[in-house]
Structure 1
Protein backbone atom coordinates (compact mmCIF):
# COMPACT_ATOMS: atom_id res chain seq x y z
CA UNK A 1 0.00 0.00 0.00
CA UNK A 2 2.81 2.39 0.76
CA UNK A 3 4.26 1.75 -2.63
CA UNK A 4 1.03 2.49 -4.43
CA UNK A 5 0.67 5.75 -2.47
CA UNK A 6 4.19 6.70 -3.46
CA UNK A 7 3.53 5.88 -7.11
CA UNK A 8 0.29 7.88 -7.07
CA UNK A 9 2.07 10.88 -5.54
CA UNK A 10 4.83 10.65 -8.16
CA UNK A 11 2.29 10.49 -10.96
CA UNK A 12 0.50 13.54 -9.60
CA UNK A 13 3.77 15.51 -9.50
CA UNK A 14 4.61 14.53 -13.08
CA UNK A 15 1.09 15.34 -14.25
CA UNK A 16 1.22 18.74 -12.58
CA UNK A 17 4.57 19.46 -14.21
CA UNK A 18 3.36 18.49 -17.67
CA UNK A 19 0.16 20.48 -17.25
CA UNK A 20 2.15 23.49 -16.04
CA UNK A 21 4.37 23.33 -19.14
CA UNK A 22 1.35 23.18 -21.41
CA UNK A 23 -0.27 26.17 -19.77
CA UNK A 24 2.92 28.25 -19.59
CA UNK A 25 4.86 27.81 -22.84
CA UNK A 26 8.55 28.57 -22.63
CA UNK A 27 10.14 31.44 -24.51
CA UNK A 28 11.64 28.94 -26.94
CA UNK A 29 8.24 27.82 -28.17
CA UNK A 30 6.96 31.35 -28.84
CA UNK A 31 6.48 32.23 -32.52
CA UNK A 32 7.26 35.95 -32.96
CA UNK A 33 10.43 35.16 -34.94
CA UNK A 34 8.47 32.90 -37.27
CA UNK A 35 5.83 35.58 -37.77
CA UNK A 36 8.46 38.25 -38.47
CA UNK A 37 10.19 35.94 -40.95
CA UNK A 38 6.96 35.23 -42.79
CA UNK A 39 6.15 38.93 -43.20
CA UNK A 40 9.63 39.96 -44.41
CA UNK A 41 9.35 38.49 -47.93
CA UNK A 42 6.02 40.24 -48.42
CA UNK A 43 7.61 43.60 -47.59
CA UNK A 44 10.58 42.86 -49.89
CA UNK A 45 8.23 41.86 -52.69
CA UNK A 46 6.24 45.05 -52.41
CA UNK A 47 9.47 47.10 -52.37
CA UNK A 48 10.75 45.22 -55.42
CA UNK A 49 7.42 45.77 -57.14
CA UNK A 50 7.54 49.49 -56.41
CA UNK A 51 11.11 49.68 -57.77
CA UNK A 52 10.06 47.85 -60.95
CA UNK A 53 7.09 50.17 -61.40
CA UNK A 54 9.34 53.19 -60.90
CA UNK A 55 11.83 51.84 -63.45
CA UNK A 56 9.01 51.18 -65.91
CA UNK A 57 7.72 54.72 -65.45
CA UNK A 58 11.23 56.05 -66.08
CA UNK A 59 11.49 54.03 -69.32
CA UNK A 60 8.20 55.43 -70.56
CA UNK A 61 9.21 58.99 -69.65
CA UNK A 62 12.69 58.78 -71.24
CA UNK A 63 13.76 55.51 -72.85
CA UNK A 64 17.28 56.86 -73.46
CA UNK A 65 17.98 57.45 -69.76
CA UNK A 66 19.30 54.48 -67.77
CA UNK A 67 19.48 54.98 -63.98
CA UNK A 68 22.21 53.14 -62.06
CA UNK A 69 22.73 52.38 -58.38
CA UNK A 70 25.11 54.88 -56.84
CA UNK A 71 28.01 52.43 -56.55
CA UNK A 72 27.40 50.44 -59.75
CA UNK A 73 28.40 50.52 -63.39
CA UNK A 74 26.90 47.13 -64.21
CA UNK A 75 24.00 46.82 -66.63
CA UNK A 76 20.88 45.21 -65.21
CA UNK A 77 18.39 43.14 -67.23
CA UNK A 78 16.10 46.19 -67.17
CA UNK A 79 18.87 48.33 -68.71
CA UNK A 80 19.42 45.73 -71.41
CA UNK A 81 15.71 45.59 -72.21
CA UNK A 82 15.61 49.37 -72.38
CA UNK A 83 18.57 49.43 -74.78
CA UNK A 84 17.09 46.65 -76.91
CA UNK A 85 13.94 48.74 -77.35
CA UNK A 86 16.12 51.56 -78.74
CA UNK A 87 18.28 49.28 -80.88
CA UNK A 88 16.56 49.80 -84.27
CA UNK A 89 16.91 53.58 -83.93
CA UNK A 90 20.50 53.29 -82.71
CA UNK A 91 21.53 51.10 -85.65
CA UNK A 92 20.12 53.73 -88.05
CA UNK A 93 21.65 56.69 -86.19
CA UNK A 94 24.61 58.58 -87.65
CA UNK A 95 26.14 59.39 -84.26
CA UNK A 96 25.50 58.17 -80.72
CA UNK A 97 26.72 59.86 -77.55
CA UNK A 98 26.75 57.93 -74.29
CA UNK A 99 26.83 60.45 -71.46
CA UNK A 100 27.68 58.86 -68.12
CA UNK A 101 26.51 60.61 -64.97
CA UNK A 102 28.00 60.32 -61.49
CA UNK A 103 27.52 63.01 -58.85
CA UNK A 104 30.89 64.14 -57.55
CA UNK A 105 29.60 64.72 -54.02
CA UNK A 106 28.51 61.07 -53.75
CA UNK A 107 31.58 59.29 -55.16
CA UNK A 108 35.28 60.07 -54.84
CA UNK A 109 36.32 59.41 -58.44
CA UNK A 110 33.09 60.44 -60.12
CA UNK A 111 34.61 60.93 -63.59
CA UNK A 112 35.86 57.33 -63.73
CA UNK A 113 32.54 55.98 -62.45
CA UNK A 114 30.57 58.01 -65.00
CA UNK A 115 32.78 56.82 -67.85
CA UNK A 116 32.62 53.20 -66.60
CA UNK A 117 28.83 53.35 -66.91
CA UNK A 118 29.11 54.71 -70.45
CA UNK A 119 31.61 51.94 -71.32
CA UNK A 120 29.19 49.28 -70.02
CA UNK A 121 26.47 50.60 -72.31
CA UNK A 122 28.92 50.89 -75.22
CA UNK A 123 30.07 47.25 -74.86
CA UNK A 124 26.47 46.04 -74.81
CA UNK A 125 25.53 48.04 -77.90
CA UNK A 126 28.58 46.83 -79.84
CA UNK A 127 27.63 43.22 -78.99
CA UNK A 128 24.18 43.97 -80.40
CA UNK A 129 25.64 45.12 -83.74
CA UNK A 130 25.90 48.89 -83.32
CA UNK A 131 29.02 50.21 -85.05
CA UNK A 132 31.69 51.34 -82.59
CA UNK A 133 32.62 54.17 -85.01
CA UNK A 134 29.27 55.86 -84.27
CA UNK A 135 29.77 55.81 -80.50
CA UNK A 136 31.35 58.49 -78.35
CA UNK A 137 31.53 58.81 -74.57
CA UNK A 138 31.08 61.86 -72.38
CA UNK A 139 30.67 62.38 -68.66
CA UNK A 140 28.85 64.66 -66.25
CA UNK A 141 29.77 64.94 -62.57
CA UNK A 142 27.84 68.13 -61.81
CA UNK A 143 24.25 66.83 -61.90
CA UNK A 144 22.98 64.75 -58.98
CA UNK A 145 22.40 61.66 -61.15
CA UNK A 146 23.83 58.16 -61.43
CA UNK A 147 22.91 57.19 -64.96
CA UNK A 148 23.74 57.03 -68.66
CA UNK A 149 21.90 59.07 -71.24
CA UNK A 150 21.87 57.68 -74.78
CA UNK A 151 21.73 60.57 -77.28
CA UNK A 152 21.60 59.97 -81.04
CA UNK A 153 21.11 61.86 -84.26
CA UNK A 154 19.83 60.62 -87.61
Structure 2
Protein backbone atom coordinates (compact mmCIF):
# COMPACT_ATOMS: atom_id res chain seq x y z
CA UNK A 1 0.00 0.00 0.00
CA UNK A 2 2.85 2.40 0.79
CA UNK A 3 4.41 1.75 -2.57
CA UNK A 4 1.25 2.52 -4.55
CA UNK A 5 0.79 5.73 -2.53
CA UNK A 6 4.31 6.78 -3.45
CA UNK A 7 3.71 6.07 -7.14
CA UNK A 8 0.43 8.02 -7.01
CA UNK A 9 2.20 10.99 -5.37
CA UNK A 10 4.97 10.87 -7.98
CA UNK A 11 2.42 10.90 -10.79
CA UNK A 12 0.70 13.92 -9.24
CA UNK A 13 4.01 15.80 -9.06
CA UNK A 14 4.79 14.99 -12.69
CA UNK A 15 1.31 16.03 -13.83
CA UNK A 16 1.55 19.29 -11.89
CA UNK A 17 4.96 20.10 -13.37
CA UNK A 18 3.80 19.38 -16.92
CA UNK A 19 0.70 21.56 -16.43
CA UNK A 20 2.84 24.31 -14.91
CA UNK A 21 5.14 24.28 -17.91
CA UNK A 22 2.24 24.65 -20.31
CA UNK A 23 0.83 27.65 -18.43
CA UNK A 24 4.19 29.42 -18.10
CA UNK A 25 6.15 28.86 -21.29
CA UNK A 26 9.85 29.54 -20.98
CA UNK A 27 11.31 32.52 -22.75
CA UNK A 28 13.53 31.59 -25.65
CA UNK A 29 17.23 31.54 -24.89
CA UNK A 30 20.32 31.02 -26.99
CA UNK A 31 20.79 27.39 -27.86
CA UNK A 32 24.13 25.85 -27.10
CA UNK A 33 26.35 24.93 -30.03
CA UNK A 34 26.63 21.34 -28.83
CA UNK A 35 23.98 18.67 -28.48
CA UNK A 36 24.73 18.04 -24.79
CA UNK A 37 23.97 20.19 -21.75
CA UNK A 38 27.44 20.00 -20.26
CA UNK A 39 30.75 19.64 -22.01
CA UNK A 40 32.25 16.19 -21.59
CA UNK A 41 34.91 15.88 -18.96
CA UNK A 42 37.83 13.53 -19.43
CA UNK A 43 38.16 11.10 -16.60
CA UNK A 44 41.44 10.39 -14.91
CA UNK A 45 41.57 6.93 -16.49
CA UNK A 46 41.25 8.41 -19.99
CA UNK A 47 43.98 10.92 -19.28
CA UNK A 48 46.15 8.22 -17.71
CA UNK A 49 45.69 5.90 -20.72
CA UNK A 50 46.61 8.73 -23.10
CA UNK A 51 49.74 9.48 -21.07
CA UNK A 52 50.70 5.78 -21.01
CA UNK A 53 50.21 5.50 -24.77
CA UNK A 54 52.34 8.60 -25.36
CA UNK A 55 55.02 7.23 -23.04
CA UNK A 56 54.99 3.88 -24.86
CA UNK A 57 55.34 5.63 -28.23
CA UNK A 58 58.28 7.64 -26.91
CA UNK A 59 59.89 4.50 -25.51
CA UNK A 60 59.41 2.69 -28.83
CA UNK A 61 61.14 5.53 -30.66
CA UNK A 62 64.04 5.49 -28.20
CA UNK A 63 64.46 1.71 -27.94
CA UNK A 64 62.28 -0.46 -30.18
CA UNK A 65 63.66 -3.63 -28.57
CA UNK A 66 62.01 -2.77 -25.22
CA UNK A 67 58.27 -3.48 -25.14
CA UNK A 68 56.50 -2.01 -22.10
CA UNK A 69 53.40 -3.82 -20.80
CA UNK A 70 50.60 -2.81 -18.46
CA UNK A 71 51.27 -4.10 -14.96
CA UNK A 72 48.54 -6.75 -15.10
CA UNK A 73 48.86 -7.71 -18.76
CA UNK A 74 50.87 -10.08 -20.91
CA UNK A 75 48.89 -9.36 -24.08
CA UNK A 76 50.64 -7.90 -27.12
CA UNK A 77 49.19 -4.61 -28.30
CA UNK A 78 49.23 -3.30 -31.87
CA UNK A 79 52.03 -0.95 -30.75
CA UNK A 80 54.09 -3.93 -29.59
CA UNK A 81 53.53 -5.65 -32.92
CA UNK A 82 54.70 -2.53 -34.80
CA UNK A 83 57.83 -2.39 -32.64
CA UNK A 84 58.56 -6.04 -33.36
CA UNK A 85 57.91 -5.58 -37.07
CA UNK A 86 60.49 -2.77 -37.14
CA UNK A 87 63.03 -5.20 -35.66
CA UNK A 88 62.14 -8.06 -38.00
CA UNK A 89 64.98 -7.59 -40.54
CA UNK A 90 67.59 -7.67 -37.74
CA UNK A 91 65.87 -10.60 -36.06
CA UNK A 92 65.87 -12.67 -39.25
CA UNK A 93 69.65 -12.17 -39.61
CA UNK A 94 70.41 -12.87 -35.93
CA UNK A 95 71.90 -16.19 -34.86
CA UNK A 96 70.33 -16.03 -31.39
CA UNK A 97 67.51 -14.00 -29.84
CA UNK A 98 66.81 -13.78 -26.13
CA UNK A 99 63.38 -12.62 -25.00
CA UNK A 100 63.76 -11.33 -21.45
CA UNK A 101 60.41 -10.89 -19.71
CA UNK A 102 60.20 -8.41 -16.85
CA UNK A 103 57.71 -8.34 -14.00
CA UNK A 104 58.43 -6.62 -10.70
CA UNK A 105 57.95 -9.10 -7.86
CA UNK A 106 56.64 -6.41 -5.46
CA UNK A 107 53.79 -5.58 -7.87
CA UNK A 108 52.60 -9.05 -8.89
CA UNK A 109 52.21 -12.22 -6.84
CA UNK A 110 53.62 -14.72 -9.34
CA UNK A 111 56.03 -12.39 -11.12
CA UNK A 112 58.08 -15.16 -12.74
CA UNK A 113 55.05 -16.60 -14.52
CA UNK A 114 53.89 -13.16 -15.64
CA UNK A 115 57.34 -12.27 -16.97
CA UNK A 116 57.60 -15.54 -18.87
CA UNK A 117 54.04 -15.21 -20.22
CA UNK A 118 55.03 -11.88 -21.78
CA UNK A 119 58.12 -13.44 -23.34
CA UNK A 120 56.06 -16.39 -24.65
CA UNK A 121 53.58 -14.04 -26.34
CA UNK A 122 56.41 -12.17 -28.04
CA UNK A 123 57.92 -15.51 -29.09
CA UNK A 124 54.62 -16.70 -30.62
CA UNK A 125 54.32 -13.47 -32.60
CA UNK A 126 57.89 -13.74 -33.91
CA UNK A 127 57.43 -17.38 -34.93
CA UNK A 128 54.32 -16.36 -36.91
CA UNK A 129 56.50 -13.78 -38.66
CA UNK A 130 58.94 -16.47 -39.80
CA UNK A 131 61.59 -16.36 -37.06
CA UNK A 132 62.94 -19.84 -36.33
CA UNK A 133 61.95 -21.07 -32.88
CA UNK A 134 65.39 -22.71 -32.60
CA UNK A 135 67.14 -19.38 -32.21
CA UNK A 136 64.70 -18.01 -29.61
CA UNK A 137 65.25 -18.37 -25.88
CA UNK A 138 63.32 -16.96 -22.92
CA UNK A 139 64.58 -15.47 -19.68
CA UNK A 140 62.93 -13.56 -16.89
CA UNK A 141 63.74 -10.74 -14.49
CA UNK A 142 61.67 -10.04 -11.38
CA UNK A 143 64.15 -7.76 -9.62
CA UNK A 144 63.86 -4.62 -11.77
CA UNK A 145 60.77 -2.43 -11.41
CA UNK A 146 59.66 -3.03 -15.01
CA UNK A 147 56.75 -4.70 -16.78
CA UNK A 148 58.17 -5.39 -20.22
CA UNK A 149 59.99 -7.65 -22.64
CA UNK A 150 63.45 -6.85 -23.97
CA UNK A 151 64.42 -8.41 -27.28
CA UNK A 152 68.15 -9.10 -27.14
CA UNK A 153 69.76 -9.83 -30.49
CA UNK A 154 72.84 -12.06 -30.49
CA UNK A 155 75.34 -11.95 -33.33
2:113 is matched with: 112
1:135 is matched with: 136
**1:106–1:34 Cα change, 3 Å:** farther
**1:116–1:18 Cα change, 3 Å:** same
Aligned length: 128
Structure 2 regions of 5+ residues with no counterpart? 1-18, 28-35
The 1-side partners of 2:136 and 2:123 are apart by: 7
Deviation at 1:86, TM superposition (A): 0.1
The 2-side partners of 1:84 and 1:34 are apart by: 45
TM-score by length of 2: 0.73
1:18 is aligned to 2:17: no
The 2-side partners of 1:107 and 1:132 are apart by: 28
The alignment partner of 1:148 has SS state of strand
Structure 1 regions of 5+ residues with no counterpart? 1-13, 24-32
1:122 is matched with: 123
Structure number with the higher helix fraction is 1
**1:18–1:66 Cα change, 3 Å:** same
**1:50–1:22 Cα change, 3 Å:** same
Deviation at 1:54, TM superposition (A): 1.7
1:40 is matched with: 42
